[in-house]
């Protein structure tokens, strides 16, 4: 059986991982999997049903009745397209919280590994290179300053017609950075063999090309 190629792109919230990973996958002709969207979908459902990570039995029961699929850039939760509903600050915080749940991570990591071993993928998230695919052939850690990431998130939400406050958005990102890097289970960190790419002063195309060149040269 031919070995599949796995490309891991990790980094903090708002670093542009999804945009960059999707474009790199397209240039390579690989499948793109947005793992952050998978966690956001679970966080969204938890908010909708009023389930917290402290309620382990309720959470496990909810997960047993949860179906998450990612196809052609669209995230489906129980058969419904929730792509436009999972990019709010509230869902971001819920995603960060549920990512600390062993039950949630076990379910989603199993699905992610299964995908990555049957097709060539570019996968982005918080712990792809350090946990999901420690054997990934290529690993990148994409980052940018918190202020730059807050500006990007504000622009993204404004383009969708949502009212945003920069100060609140920055606080949300800083809080999520802390949560992601301090959780006990698979915290956000750069893999020892990952290439760090700081996109603070790079355009989207410059960042895409930089990663693409590392892979193809």
Q: Is 18 flagged in the annotation as binding?
A: yes
Q: Is 89 flagged in the annotation as binding?
A: no
Q: Is 107 flagged in the annotation as binding?
A: no
Residues 140, 195 contacting (CB under 8 angstroms): yes
Left (φ > 0), alpha (ψ -120 to 50) or beta: where does 47 sit? alpha
Q: Is 11 flagged in the annotation as binding?
A: yes
For 182, phi then psi, to 5°, come to -110, 0
What is the Cα–Cα distance from 211 to 156, expressed in whole angstroms? Answer: 23
Q: Is 13 flagged in the annotation as binding?
A: yes
What is the Cα–Cα distance from 128 to 8, expressed in whole angstroms? Answer: 6
Q: Measuring CA to CA, which residue among 58, 60, 98 is closest to residue 179?
A: 98
The owner of tokens 């959780």 is 183
For 163, phi then psi, to 5°, come to -85, 130
What is the Cα–Cα distance from 127 to 156, expressed in whole angstroms? Answer: 24
Q: Give the rounded distance of the alpha carbon of 121 from its chain centre.
A: 14
Specify the pairing of strand 74-77 against strand 80-81: antiparallel
Residue stretches of the annotated binding site for ATP:
11-19
Residue stretches of the annotated binding site:
11-19
């Amino acid at each position: 059986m031919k070995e599949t190629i796995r490309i891991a792109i990790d980094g903090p919230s708002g670093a542009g991982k999804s945009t960059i990973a999707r474009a790199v996958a397209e240039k390579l002709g690989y499948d793109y999997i947005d793992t952050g969207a998978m966690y956001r979908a679970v966080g969204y459902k938890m908010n909708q049903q009023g389930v917290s990570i402290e309620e382990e039995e309720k959470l496990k029961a909810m997960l047993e009745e949860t179906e998450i699929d990612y196809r052609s850039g669209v995230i489906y939760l129980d058969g419904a397209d929730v792509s436009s509903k999972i990019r709010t600050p509230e869902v971001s915080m819920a995603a960060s919280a549920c990512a600390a749940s062993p039950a949630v991570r076990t379910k989603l990591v199993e699905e992610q590994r299964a995908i990555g071993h049957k097709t060539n993928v570019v996968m982005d998230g918080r712990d792809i290179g350090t946990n999901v695919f420690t054997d990934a052939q290529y690993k990148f850690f994409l980052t940018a300053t918190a202020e730059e990431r807050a500006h990007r998130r504000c622009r993204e939400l404004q383009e969708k017609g949502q009212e945003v406050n920069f100060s609140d958005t920055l606080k949300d990102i800083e809080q999520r950075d802390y949560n992601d890097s301090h959780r006990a289970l698979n915290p956000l960190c750069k893999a020892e063999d990952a290439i760090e790419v700081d996109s603070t002063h790079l355009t989207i195309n410059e960042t895409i090309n930089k990663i693409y060149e590392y892979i193809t040269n």
